[in-house]
Chains A and B, each alone.
Chain A
């Protein structure tokens, strides 16, 4: 069964460092998303991406964050200068159809900022 894959599974970084989280969405999906879950809190929407541009973003997704689809398969989330509060599980998701909410999530990348 096709799945969304994410790397790395866990990354530890120092505050102020840049981090890139990578995702390979399901191949025939056109809509891509990043969500995050801070430990003990809700899963929160960060950004959605379609046709090589951001279609929607949350207040969390400030100038420190960026997304890119550098080639036909990868979808990346970059955090330019990490803060302690960026420590969370980051989930990539993709969907074939827009608006149904039926997303396919990856297993997540745990980011720890020291």
Chain B
């Protein structure tokens, strides 16, 4: 079941640069998309979300872009900071369902 795909397992960037994390989905019924980040030995923490009626949502250094025609979303972190180093999960839900479908995660490393 690969409804939400994060095809790159890891990304390494320099502090101050932009981090771009990508996510693809196959289920056209998904209408809400989220990014979670996870530090070792902790549970996932909600970061930012976007509804399918929007194509962009911004919260401080974090911006999520949604391209519905391509079934693709991305998370931009600008500027990246060493504290952003974590595993980032893309997740999606279908209207009316409480179930979140997660991607496999992507490990981001921000080097000082």
Contacts and interface: CB of A to CB of B under 8 A. Distances in A.
B49 A42 contact: no
Q: Is the interface of B mostly helix, strand, loop or mixed?
A: loop
Interface residues of A, number: 26
Nearest to A105: B43
22 contacts: A31-B98, A35-B100, A41-B104, A42-B104, A43-B89, A43-B100, A43-B102, A43-B105, A48-B98, A55-B98, A56-B98, A91-B44, A93-B43, A99-B32, A100-B49, A101-B49, A101-B91, A101-B93, A104-B46, A105-B43, A107-B42, A107-B43
B102 A44 contact: yes
Contacts of A102: 34, 46, 49
A106 B91 contact: no
Nearest to B101: A45
Contacts of B91: 43, 101
Interface string B64-85: 0000000000000000000000
A43 B38 CA distance: 11
A106 B44 CA distance: 8
A86 B51 CA distance: 34
A100 B99 contact: no
Contact of B100 (A41, A101, A106): A101
A103 B46 contact: yes
Contacts of A108: 42-43
Nearest to B98: A48
A75 interface: no
A98 B43 contact: no
Interface string B83-112: 000000101010011111111110000000
A58 interface: yes
B99 A48 contact: yes
